[in-house]
Structures are given as structure tokens and as C-alpha cells.
A and B are shown apart, each in its own frame.
Chain A
Amino acid sequence: MISKREFLQATLATTALWGLSGYGNWGRLAAQQALTQDKLLEFDSFGNVTLIHVTDIHAQLKPVYFREPEVNLGVGDAKGRPPHVTGNDFLQMFNIAPGSPDAYALTHEDFVALAGTYGRMGGLDRVATVVKAIRAERPDSILLDGGDTWQGSFTSLKTKGQDMVNVMNALGVEGMTSHWEWTFGTDRVMEIVESLPFPFLGANIFDAEWDEPAFEPYKVFEKGGVRIGVIGQAFPYMPIANPRWLFPEYSFGIREERMQEVVNELRESEGVDLVVCLSHNGFDVDYKMASRVAGIDVILTGHTHDAVPEPVLVGETIMIASGSHGKFVSRIDLDVRDGKMMGFRHKLIPIFSDVITPDADMATLIDKEREPFKAELEEVIGKTESLLYRRGNFNGTWDDLICDAIMEERDAQIALSPGVRWGTSLLPGDDIRREDIHTVTSMTYGKVYRNEMTGETLKTVMEDVADNLFNADPYYQQGGDMVRVGGISYAIDVTKPIGERISDLTVTATGEAIDPSKSYTVAGWASVNEGTEGPKIWDVVESYVRKKGTIKLEPRTTVTVTGI
């Protein structure tokens, strides 16, 4: 995180410039001058171990706009606790000035205006610069990737993740764990894993038939005389949240006892001084796990895409949440002595793409990976007059656009779209290029089904997904957001138990109540069922955007949330 002094300077500059010049180029450049690469990287070295964490990059090689959630509700004990704090509450909690670079990077407030001022974030060539700089200062740093790396773009889909593998290898990753990686199927995953120069860690990945560990649970690093055990924890709900038929050989799960066993093994047999868990559990699951498994010093958490500027302490465990889509790199310096973590210093480094100089070698590699697809990627399909974003517990404007496209192109009364947390943003006035559509839809099971569903089934589906998000016990949460809907409105009380959260289901156009016994035409995508038939979602959206030319979406009020 940028220190108080730094952001104060940046804020003063920005605020003054707004008064003078609005959002013109001059103002933008001047605002960014207040931010420098040196300041972003400034870190008072500490201790004897440095961890570098990236996670949930979702195949974003180039800088992106990514609007952080406006709605990210916590239930039960998680209510009001990071990461379930958004907008101005978040700014106050972390003492961040509105309009500052941190405010832009970490919240949705004034997103469009601040995006104009501070520009895109991320880009793996910029990430490479940051990683190299940290390594130059601390040669014994360990770079760890929390997974959700190989999926999320046109090029990663076309190359079955190879573009990302090449780039992450060049970045010098030393260990990773997994989630969407598995959606390329077991054969492809194994093919890549065999080629990786680092371990593909997953203490909780078991052989489904024999119920035995199937992957390396951890790797022990010797750095600067310190023995560091890094445990991988893959996404626990792989076969439930994503299609089981793509990786039928494996079983996942939280496997708390297994985690404790592995921690004990590291401490007792391997004699490590520090235990790090590289996790794709999601923030709330990790929070609970940290309170129940003894002996983990650091959890590098991923999956739920939270960018939290300060470590969260659970007992003697520190949790680090490093955001998503390449927007942030976490640096964690640790003082490890006599087999104990004595102290830590941390910085969530925001990757302002206009401020951090791209690493030349990495920039060349990225362009080389994209070159074969360049014309397809950059073809302009349409234009948007509205901000397009997804992240948040309920429909974002990208989801509204996708649902509209599904209903129109597939002639359906109701559309369902998955509540995935990945997908970047477009600003008003931006072109919609083919690549942008893929960034919010790219997956190996993206067919758009169309079938009949009774009102009762529809409600059951929505209750089920809502419970996967709002169950008061994090171990029963899958970490996706609420299913996105088109054509219908509903109310949701997040505090109620399963079966009682959803009410007032109506057809939005007519205001007519959804009849449990009546059949409706429902179309959607990302079904986990094998053999789903239909056109690809990106083709459906592309066809719709092409016909419309310009997209204009008014904010919708189809979901009424209570119990907050």
C-alpha cells in the first residue's frame, strides 16, 4: 500500500488539477507524475525472507480497467469485515483519501472519472518490472502464483493456456496452485504440469477413486538460511462449481485435517522455520481455516479477488489478499528467526500501467504471444456509451448486456449468466473489441443452452446459488457471486436460510409474478452438465453488439437486497 505521505502528495496534486483542468490529458499526466515507479516500489526492507504474491490474473497479459465491487456483502461473522467493506466505508477503514490513486485502485467510487485520471492497471510486462525490482533488492525472494492464471482471455482459450504458461515461466514463478486451470481438462493440465519448471501444488487434490493425495502438497525452499514450506491449496469446490466431467479423476475439498497434517509434517519432519499456505480457498474460507488449523504463518489467499491493503490477522496467522487481473503485486517481508515468524512488513503494490515502465523482454514476449491473433483480437464489434463492469454480488452492466444478448439472440423469456468474479471493465466511449467480449466470457464450456424451466425450478436454482454465496458458514460457500438474471426481478434477504432468501420473483417487463407451476423459456451459459448444446456465448454477444452498434445501459433495479 502506498504510504500516507505518498498518497497525500498524490491526492493534493490530483485535487488541484481537477479544479484547473478537468480530466484532460495534461491533468492526467500531471496526476500520474505525482506517482512514480520509485514511490510505488518504495519499501523499507525488513527481516530475512521476502514473498511475492500474484493471484487470479485470469490471463490478462495487457493492462486493464477493473472496477472493484460496489456490493460485496459479508454474512455471519464476516459482516463488516474486510473484504466485505466497499466504497467510502473502505476508504474510511483504511484511511484513504477519496480521489486518490489508492481510492481508484481499491474501490468503485468515482470509477469512471478516476480511470480517466489514473489509467489502466496491470499488464504482466509491468508486473515483471516490479518482480525484477524486488528480486534485485532481495535475491532470495519467492514468487508465488495463487492460480486462476491460464483462463480468461481469447488467447488463453485459443492456446489452451500456453500463452500464460510461457509468460508466467518467463516471470519466474516458483510455485502455483489452481482452479480454472482444470477447466482445460485433465490431459491438458497434466501436459502443462509436466512442462512446468516449478511445482503445481495442491495438498487437497486427491485421486477420486483411491482417495489418496495426487499432487505435491508442498515445496520446501531454502532461502538465505531459512527453510520455508509452501503448501498449495487448490480451489476446494472444483467438481461442484465447474464441470466435473472435465477432470473426473480428481477430488478436491477443503480437507482441514489434511491441511493440519501437512503443516505438522513440515514443522516436524521437514524442520521448516516458516509455513506459507498458497491458497485458492477464497477469503472467508481461508479466514475460517486460519482459525482452525494451527501453525500456518502466512496465508496468501486468492479466488475471491479481494484487494486488501493491509494484512488481516487471524490469531498468529497473517492473511494477504492480492486482488486480481494483474492489478496488484504483494510484497511481504518477514523476519524469521529460531523457527518463528517474529514480524512482517507488507505492501500491496498497485500496478499503475502508465507509471511503471514495462519490462522490455516481457513486453516483447507478450506481443509475440498475441501476434498470431492480433487482427481477431482487435476487431471492433461495437461501442459502449455506458460503463461495462461485472464484479459485485449481483448483476453488473456487462452481465445485463450478456443477458440481453442471450434473450434476444436465443429468443428466451429469461436469461441466466454465471456469477463469476472475473471479467474486466470498459469505460463509456470505449470501443467493444472482440477481445473485450472474450475477457468476460472466455471458457472451455461456454455454450448457450435453451430449455424450458418451471418457476419452481428457477427459484430452486436461485436459492441454491444464493446459499453458495450467503451461507453463514464460509466452508459452505463456493466463492462465486450470485447468478446473473435477465428478464426477471427478485428480492433477496441475505440473512435467511436456504429456501427462504429469494422472494417476489416477477417478469420484469410485465410485473407479473413468476408462477411456480408454469414453464418459462430459459437460456444461459456455463452449464456444468456434459453434452450441453448451443452456440458459443461470445458469438451470441458479438452478434448482438454488432446489431446494436452502440450499447447504452441504464442502471437496473431488478434486484432488491435486504438483510444488509
Chain B
Amino acid sequence: MELNRRKAIALGAGGAAVVAFAGSALAQAATDAAAPAADAAVNTAAAPQTEAKTVEQWIEEFTGGAEVTEGGITLTAPEIAENGNTVPIEVDAEGASEILVLATGNPTPGVTITKFGEAAGSRKIATRIRLAETQDITAIAKMDDGSFKQATSNVKVTIGGCGG
């Protein structure tokens, strides 16, 4: 899947509200995507946290302890990051009302919660995130029917060299 400029603008106009957590995410692309239609998007950075929430806490808070199943959500991320400081990821979950992205190996695992308005034509986000080390990225979607779907992808952050 490619997200070109035109599609990104359409996505922004569709009414994606992005909540980026300060200190843990770049959310660069998502912000760019929303910018051309700023009035349709809500972009909120949470206050810096004194103590980072754990992965379990994030999931517990997001799902309220409900069961999370695999499938119905696609997380696209590189197998090996070309640059750990800016790793492109994309989450596509048709029928999602909210999507939570976690970088499970980062000191602050919370990356972003995206809330889709009813007018959102596509329930998809693309952004770039910073990864401290090789780790699993997890995306959880809250579906319109209240169920939760999850996808996980391992991204390797390597010092590289020696390809021949």
C-alpha cells in the first residue's frame, strides 16, 4: 500500500483526529496529512508524563479489559528500519473508530491514538515513529461494534553495514 500526497490529503479531510503523545512519537506524517484540512482534524499532544505508562496499562486503558482478537487490521512496517529515528508505519482497519499504536520496546511505549469521525471515508493512518531498539510494534483498533482487533509487527533496528 502506498500513501501518496493526494490520498494523505483526502485522509486528513476525512476527519481523522490524532492524539500524539509528547516525547514518544513524531507523528510527523499524520500531522502533515491533517494539516491541509486543519479544521476537520483535531491534533492534541498529551501533557508530558512523569512516569511512562506500560504497554499493559495502555492496552488495559484502551480496551477496558475486553478481548482483543487478531485479524481485521493491517499493520505495515519495514522488517528492518532504514533509520530508527523515523520509521514509516501504516495501520489500516476498516470499520475502526479508534486506533492505538504502541512501540512496545520504547521507554515510553505510547505512540498515538487516532479517533475517526463518522465522516471519515477511510479508517487508516500513516505516520513515522522513532524506535529506540529492535521491538514489536502493536496496533489495536476499536471497531464500530465495540470489539477490538490487533496486529503486531517486529521491526529490527540495526547498526547495519557489510551488505554485499
What is the minimal beta-carbon distance from B115 to any residue of chain A, in angstroms? 23
Closest 7 CB pairs of A and B: A241-B163, A420-B164, A240-B160, A239-B82, A480-B162, A475-B79, A418-B162
CB of B80 closer than 8 Å to a CB of A:
yes
Among B2-10, B12-20, B44-52, B58-66, the stretch in contact with A: B2-10
- Smallest CB gap from B160: residue in A: A240
List B contacts of A254 (CB < 8 A): 78-79
Q: List CB contacts (< 8 Å) of B51-87 with chain A.
A: 76, 78-83
Q: Are A253 and B78 interface neighbours, CB within 8 A?
A: yes
- Smallest CB gap from B76: residue in A: A257
Q: List CB contacts (< 8 Å) of B114-164 with chain A.
A: 126, 134, 154, 156, 158-164
List B contacts of A244 (CB < 8 A): 82-83
CB of A350 closer than 8 Å to a CB of B:
no
**A211-B3, A239-B82, A254-B79 known; A418+B156 contact, CB < 8 A:** no
**A211-B88, A252-B82, A253-B82 known; A241+B160 contact, CB < 8 A:** yes
Partner of B161, one of A212, A241, A258, A422: A241
Q: Are B158 and A212 interface neighbours, CB within 8 A?
A: no
Q: Are B161 and A418 interface neighbours, CB within 8 A?
A: yes
- Smallest CB gap from B77: residue in A: A253
- Smallest CB gap from A251: residue in B: B82
A426 to B3, CA, bound (A): 50
A476 to B157, CA, bound (A): 10
**A241-B161, A241-B163 known; A212+B2 contact, CB < 8 A:** yes
Q: Are A527 and B161 interface neighbours, CB within 8 A?
A: yes
With A253-B79, A257-B76, A478-B158 known, 4 other A-B pairs at CB within 8 A are A211-B4, A211-B88, A239-B82, A420-B163
Among A103-111, A132-140, A226-234, A460-468, the stretch in contact with B: A460-468
Chain A residues near B (Cβ < 8 Å): 179, 206, 208, 210-213, 235, 237-242, 244, 251-254, 257-258, 261, 418-422, 460-461, 464-465, 467-468, 471, 473, 475-476, 478-481, 483, 498, 526-528
- Smallest CB gap from B74: residue in A: A257
Q: Is the interface of B mostly helix, strand, loop or mixed?
A: loop
Q: Are A258 and B2 interface neighbours, CB within 8 A?
A: yes
Instruction: Supply 21 A–B pairs (Cβ within 8 Å), ascending by A.
Output: A206-B2, A211-B4, A237-B80, A238-B82, A240-B80, A241-B160, A251-B88, A252-B82, A257-B1, A258-B1, A258-B2, A418-B161, A420-B162, A420-B164, A465-B162, A473-B79, A475-B79, A478-B80, A498-B134, A526-B161, A526-B162
What is the minimal beta-carbon distance from A459 to any residue of chain B, in angstroms? 12
A212 to B5, CA, bound (A): 8
A244 to B78, CA, bound (A): 16
Q: Are A242 and B163 interface neighbours, CB within 8 A?
A: yes
Q: Are B164 and A240 interface neighbours, CB within 8 A?
A: no
List B contacts of A476 (CB < 8 A): 79-80, 154, 156
Q: Are A239 and B83 interface neighbours, CB within 8 A?
A: yes
List B contacts of A468 (CB < 8 A): 158, 160, 162-163
A210 to B158, CA, bound (A): 23
A421 to B164, CA, bound (A): 5
A206 to B82, CA, bound (A): 12
User: Could you say which of B1, B2, B29 has the most chain A C-beta atoms within 10 Å of its C-beta?
Assistant: B2
A253 to B77, CA, bound (A): 10
What is the minimal beta-carbon distance from A48 to any residue of chain B, in angstroms? 35
What is the minimal beta-carbon distance from B143 to any residue of chain A, in angstroms? 22
A329 to B48, CA, bound (A): 61
List B contacts of A213 (CB < 8 A): 2
Q: Are B164 and A419 interface neighbours, CB within 8 A?
A: yes
List A contacts of B5 (CB < 8 A): 210, 212
User: Could you say which of B29, B82, B161 has the most chain A C-beta atoms within 10 Å of its C-beta?
Assistant: B161
List B contacts of A467 (CB < 8 A): 156, 158
List A contacts of B134 (CB < 8 A): 498
Q: Are B163 and A240 interface neighbours, CB within 8 A?
A: yes
A140 to B161, CA, bound (A): 40
A213 to B158, CA, bound (A): 24
Q: Are B4 and A210 interface neighbours, CB within 8 A?
A: yes
- Smallest CB gap from A457: residue in B: B159
Q: Are A528 and B161 interface neighbours, CB within 8 A?
A: yes
Q: Are B163 and A235 interface neighbours, CB within 8 A?
A: yes
List A contacts of B83 (CB < 8 A): 239, 244
- Smallest CB gap from B3: residue in A: A211
**A464-B158, A480-B164 known; A240+B82 contact, CB < 8 A:** yes
Q: Are B1 and A478 interface neighbours, CB within 8 A?
A: no
List B contacts of A498 (CB < 8 A): 134
List B contacts of A261 (CB < 8 A): 1
List A contacts of B158 (CB < 8 A): 240, 464, 467-468, 478
